[in-house]
Amino acid sequence: MSEPMIVFDLRKILPRFILDDREGYAMARAMEAGINDYLSICQAALENFSQPEKMEEWRLDELAWEYNIPYDYYAEIEIKRKWIADAIMFYRTQGTPGGIVQYLKARFDSAEVEDGPAYGGDPYHFRVVVSGESNEVNNRWAQLAVGRVKNVRSILDNIIYNGDHSDARSYMAAWSGIEVTGSSAAD
């Protein structure tokens, strides 16, 4: 344990008659040692709390629950670290296109939200364009993630994969009722 930044000195606040007594002085020193140990533990916890890159996976999972953030407990540990590190910023942007992009970029190479009127869709509708592999796991995850992060009134029209895509699109469409499309240089 590192030395605490704040060292509590009980002798500065106790009356002189207690410190002049042998038992009083011993009691003050014992209490002081306990308080300083507690301060060291608190300091270490705060340092750990602010450094998710050093946290154990179980602690990341606990923090996700404590923060009440959208979180995938089966995601890779580096993705979990990013979500925990970005939790406060996420709360500032939750329900916005920027919040959706921030959350999806932890798993996909890139992400973009397109507003409905920009692509000929209805107001309050949007679509998401991501770079990455289109497969059953990513499709299911993206659908659930966008549902957790978007605002309540907005409606996801489709998810577009730029790059590698597979037959998972038909599964996703059947599973969610959302059109999942892909595009690449070959399309």
Confidence of residue 178 (pLDDT cuts 50, 70, 90): low
Q: Residue 2: is its pLDDT beyond 80?
A: no
Q: What's this model's pTM, rounded to 2 decimal places?
A: 0.58
Instruction: Give the domain 94-179 fold.
Output: GMP Synthetase; Chain A, domain 3 (3.30.300)
C-alpha span between 107 and 28 (Å, rounded): 54
User: What pLDDT digit, counting tens, does each position of 47-104 carry?
Assistant: 766 788 888 899 899 988 888 887 888 888 998 898 888 887 888 888 899 989 988 8
Q: Residue 172: is its pLDDT beyond 80?
A: no
Structure tokens at 161: 């994969």
Name the residue ranges covered by the structural domains of the chain.
10-49, 94-179
Please state the length of the chain: 187
Q: What value, to the nearest 5°, has the Cα angle with vertex 75 and ends 69 and 81? A: 60
C-alpha span between 141 and 137 (Å, rounded): 6
C-alpha span between 79 and 85 (Å, rounded): 10
